[in-house]
Amino acid sequence: MAGHKHPSYLKIYFTLLILFIISVLGPELAEILGLEGVSRVVLVLSTAFGIAIWKAYLVCAYFMHLKVEKIYAPYILLACLSLLFVFFFGTATDAMFANGHNWVKEYSEEKALAEVIARDEHHEDDHGHSESHDDSHSEEKSH
Amino acid sequence: MAEVAHAEVGHGEHHDDHHEPSFWSKYIFSTDHKIIGFQYMFTGMAMALIGGYFAYVFRMQLAFPGSSIPFWGTLSPAAYNSLVTNHGTIMIFWVAMPVLIAAMGNFLIPLMIGCDDMVFPRINRLSYQIFLLSAIVLLASFFVPGGAFGGAWTSYAPLSAKAQYNSTPFGAPLWLIAVTLEIVAFLLGGINFITTTMNARAKGMKIYDIPMMVWMIVIASILFMCSVGPLVAGAVMLLFDQTLGTAFFDANAGGDPVLWQHLFWFFGHPEVYVVLLPAMGIVAEVTCTFARKKLFAYKLILYSSIGLGILSFFVWAHHQFISGVDPRATYLFTTTTLLISIPVAIILFAFVATLYGGSIRFTTAMLFALAFTGEFLLGGVTGIWLGSSGTDIYLHDTYFVLAHFHYTFVPIAIIATFAAIYYWFPKMFGRKMNETWGKIHFWGTIIGFNGIFIPLFILGAGGQHRRIYNFQNYPDLAGADMQDMRVFATLSLIVMLVFQIPFIVNFIVSIKRGEKVGKNPWKANTLEWVAPSPPPHGNFGPVLPEVYRGPYEYSVEGREKDYWPQNEKPESEAT
Amino acid sequence: MAHQIIATSRSRTGIPTGRLAVWWVIGSEILIFGGLIATYLLNRFNHGPSWSAEAAHTNTFIGAANTFWLLTSSLFVVLAHAASERRDARKTRMWIWLTIMLGGFFMGFKTYEYTTEILHGYTIFTSNFWSFYYTATGLHGFHVVCGMVIMAIIAENDIKNERNWHRVENIGLYWHFVDIVWIFLFPLMYIAK
């Protein structure tokens, strides 16, 4: 690997840090501004995941030297990544429509949400008795 | 790149002054690729005997329900399920994979590409040791309380996820751990094969000079590596469901049982091609050598198998047509499934075209290779019905499916493997196997095999469902005509198993007493025939061969000899 | 091994064999983590509201701190690689040990995080979100620990004896990959609510 020119690792590192701070602040900002609906989704997705992709690109390209690596290596990684998309979308055609005509699903999203909220309230009630709360909770789940 | 200096000398003098290594370091903890290949091969053969024995026991139960089975006793329903499950698991993961990919790959890749070992010899050894551990874990699962896992080799959730459903609290996790370990072993081995072929080819061996066998093993290893990831993640999730009690695949708690099927079959379908491709590589080598003819359409076969590999990632949900996948998705998966028959057909027809005008020698290896081409075609053609979502609704989970995939897996894992063993035996041990006994073995195997599965096609089309312990409990399936066919299939199985005895005897006797052969008994072109038989440590001696031409230059016009080894210098340079 | 194997010294692709193998390992790891993340996403889309409510309980501060440790360790390991190319054993070992230290910080924060969450009743059985949370972060943590162990071996066994310099780069690639996995797990588990 001798011979090629290294980029400044520190520069890449500080870029990564700035991106990281944005990715944390973005969703917080959505919370503070009280955004709802599409604008909230766009802000959260672009700051959280768009920046994750950007960061991953920077690490791959400069820290892992994929920019100067022989072409095989990025092909290997891209092939694996694209198969992942095949898996995701192939499975999504089924898993995203998980409702049958001939069977009843006992699980319901509303009930699950209500359970989470009830658990949270319960949790706030006996704050500080976390051990006893833990026990009662596991009993709740076990049936 | 200073580390990769091209210093290809100084090999011979080093190990001359070695003292003779002990038995343990020579055969058990060796890093030599040939020894590791043998280890895989013998382990795989031993597992094949166990898997065949299981098949014998449960076929006896189906033919003569409730009676006491010789060498077993009466078979309980739970034991029946365990045997069926582990027969499938063993035959795919502990027979087809180790023998076809690991044994053949380890033994042949370094020889065929002209180098002295794999690039990671110690990882190679580790891979075998993990594999051996996985086999021991699997066999150990028969001796734990509750018995071995009985939820089918596909291990569908929720049956596999909860001990209260499968009543094998220890067998199920052990089965899963064994499969995961086996996957890890083949990931290590596969990466070794791929890197070896990419980086360590002999001088002059260009991309189209690589023998088909090596190509096929490499493509298969890449397929395995790319498909198995989601299953590893799924196996961790299923293991947590089994042992900790999480609910990844429990619909009541918001999990998705069909998700396991997706994770499994995203691996499971490419897996079929993982074992198919090396078998096709074997058949390509054997067919060319004994037809004395250049492989028809080398590049087309290569591109077809790459296309086959890519397409195989788009077909997995055809296993799930009736397990609740969205009906719209079945359009897509039917189309891709029917498309995938095209590259397979191209490859098989290229083998047939190779025979055309050749000067064919019917050695045992050639007979097995020809049998593969014919029998696999039958297996492939019956797959068309199962790949179409309409007919699959009727045929799903019947013996038709079972007969179909046995018509693909037996040619792959049994017939092609025998072709390989008869063909490369002289290279492995320096002696030939007995041809007469080989032919007896061949006909017994082929007749027995067809006798088992043709009746099962008929039974399956007649509605006989899989995974049923005793058909006498189902009046529609208990008729005398159907029972007769079951008995016929079972007797054929016994015939097929009995005819393996000549093979085993022939194999063992030939190692010691077979006819001695030189370097190149079949007059073949590829590089493994340049090395002495059996190849010593380091394979080719001090100087590794160079390659000047493709691997299939048989019967070239204007040449006195009908073969032209890859390493023979062109006459212009030789003189 | 007593004698030198020629196969290991060949490099037809131009990529040294060890590094090529690491690329394939990373490729297979992409599919292992990717399979887990894909199933997580499918569930997340199916159970939007209840999973969002669950995700609100993860500790964003610790997640962010852990991201910071890993990003910094990525810098350190690439500096170790740069030092190894100069054949500077002292600097290489220093950067490797600093990387291991940051990996240790990561695991320490992780331990604290797991402990507090389990004490608050969010165990692996609480709901499927938590099952995924513990499985994905646990599998990632396992990779971090493996990387730390391998780095310690490389630093003390190879670099100390000034041999096998290429291993620094190989483990570095693996470590960057583990970092990238965390870059994606962090928004998935902690900040998308």
Q: Are residues A79 and A94 in the same domain?
A: yes
Q: Are residues A90 and A113 in the same domain?
A: no
Subunit contact C10:B200, Cβ cutoff 8 A: yes
Q: Please compute Rg for chain C using Cα positions.
A: 19
pLDDT of residue B571: 74
In whole angstroms, give the CA distance from residue A61 to residue A51. 15
Under DSSP, is residue B69 helix (H, G, I), strand (E, B) or coil?
strand
Which regions of chain C are under pLDDT 70? 1-3, 193
Residue C105 lies in a domain: yes
pLDDT of residue C40: 93
Number of domains present in the structure of chain A? 3
Mutate: best of A82, A93, A110, partner B, most B CBs <10 A: A93
**Which residues in chain C touch residue A10, judged by CB atoms under 8 angstroms apart?**
75
Mutate: best of A11, A21, A54, A64, partner C, most C CBs <10 A: A64
Measured between CA atoms, the residue of chain B closest to residue A87 is B266
Q: Cα dist. C151→A9, C92, C165 in Å?
A: 20, 11, 12
Q: Are residues A47 and A31 in the same domain?
A: yes
**Which residues in chain A touch residue B332, judged by CB atoms under 8 angstroms apart?**
93
pLDDT of residue B23: 79
Subunit contact B2:A2, Cβ cutoff 8 A: yes
Nearest Cα residue to C177 out of C15, C24, C11, C18: C24
pLDDT of residue B252: 80
**Which residues in chain C touch residue B233, judged by CB atoms under 8 angstroms apart?**
32-33, 35-36, 39, 139
Structure tokens at C80: 């170790």
Subunit contact A112:C47, Cβ cutoff 8 A: yes
Q: Give the closest of B253, B258, B328 to A107, CB-based.
A: B253
Residue A104 lies in a domain: no
Residue C11 lies in a domain: no
Structure tokens at A39: 């604008």
**Which residues in chain A touch residue B316, judged by CB atoms under 8 angstroms apart?**
90
B473, with CB counted inside 10 A (0-12, 13-18, 19+), is: exposed
In whole angstroms, give the CA distance from residue B52 to residue B575. 56
Q: Give pLDDT tens digits for B173-225.
A: 999 999 999 999 999 999 999 999 999 999 999 999 999 999 999 999 999 99
Subunit contact B314:A112, Cβ cutoff 8 A: no
A4 φ, ψ (degrees, to nearest 5): -85, 160
Instruction: Give A 73-92 residues with CB within 8 A of chain C.
Output: 73, 76-77, 79-81, 83-84, 87-88, 91-92
Average pLDDT score over residue span A96-104: 62
A98 pLDDT band, cuts 50/70/90, is low
Q: Cα dist. B546→A70, B204, B227 in Å?
A: 25, 6, 35
Residue A53 lies in a domain: yes
Instruction: Give C 99-138 residues with CB within 8 A of chain B.
Output: 124-125, 127-128, 131-132, 135
Q: Which residues pair with B516 in a beta bridge?
A: B431
pLDDT of residue B207: 92
Residue predicted with more confidence, A124 or B357? B357
Which regions of chain B are under pLDDT 50? 1-17
Q: Give the closest of B7, B195, B201 to C17, CB-based.
A: B195
Q: Are residues A86 and A134 in the same domain?
A: no
Q: Cα dist. B368→B107, B429, B440, B446 in Å?
A: 20, 20, 12, 9
pLDDT of residue A6: 63
CATH number at B35-574 = 1.20.210.10
CATH code of C181's domain? 1.20.120.80
Judge contact between A27 and C191, C-beta under 8 A. yes
Measured between CA atoms, the residue of chain C closest to residue A74 is C23
Subunit contact C32:B232, Cβ cutoff 8 A: yes
Please check the confidence at residue A131 and state whether its pLDDT lies above 60. Answer: no
Q: Are residues A56 and A14 in the same domain?
A: yes
CB pairs under 8 A between B and C: 161
Number of domains present in the structure of chain C? 1
| Residue numbers of the domain that contains A133 | 109-142
Token pair 């092609």 is found at: B416
pLDDT of residue A121: 80
Note whether ipTM > 0.85 here: yes
Q: Is the CB of B258 inside 8 Å of chain A's CB atoms? A: yes
Helices first, then strands: H and E counts in chain A: 6, 0
A111 pLDDT band, cuts 50/70/90, is confident
B7, with CB counted inside 10 A (0-12, 13-18, 19+), is: exposed
**Which residues in chain C touch residue A75, judged by CB atoms under 8 angstroms apart?**
none
Q: Give the closest of A27, A73, A113 to C193, CB-based.
A: A27
Measured between CA atoms, the residue of chain B closest to residue A97 is B326
In whole angstroms, give the CA distance from residue A25 to residue B430. 71
Subunit contact B233:C10, Cβ cutoff 8 A: no
Q: Give the closest of B227, B252, B324 to A106, CB-based.
A: B252
pLDDT of residue B569: 87
* B103-136 b/e (C-beta count within 10 Å ≥ 16 → b): bbbbbbbbbbbbbbbbbbbebbbbbbebbbbbbe
Mutate: best of B14, B106, B117, B195, partner C, most C CBs <10 A: B195
Show which subunits contact B, needing at least 3 CB pairs below 8 angstroms: A, C
Judge contact between C74 and C179, C-beta under 8 A. yes
| Residue numbers of the domain that contains C108 | 16-191
Residues 6+ apart with CB under 8 A from A95: B256, B258, B259, B262, C42, C46
Show which subunits contact A, needing at least 3 CB pairs below 8 angstroms: B, C
pLDDT of residue A103: 59
In whole angstroms, give the CA distance from residue B458 to residue B380. 17
pLDDT of residue B573: 62
Residue C167 lies in a domain: yes
Show which subunits contact C, needing at least 3 CB pairs below 8 angstroms: A, B
Q: Is the CB of A64 inside 8 Å of chain C's CB atoms? A: yes
Q: Are residues A80 and A56 in the same domain?
A: no
Q: Which residues pair with B431 in a beta bridge?
A: B516
Q: Is the CB of C41 inside 8 Å of chain B's CB atoms? A: no
Q: Which residues pair with B203 in a beta bridge?
A: B546
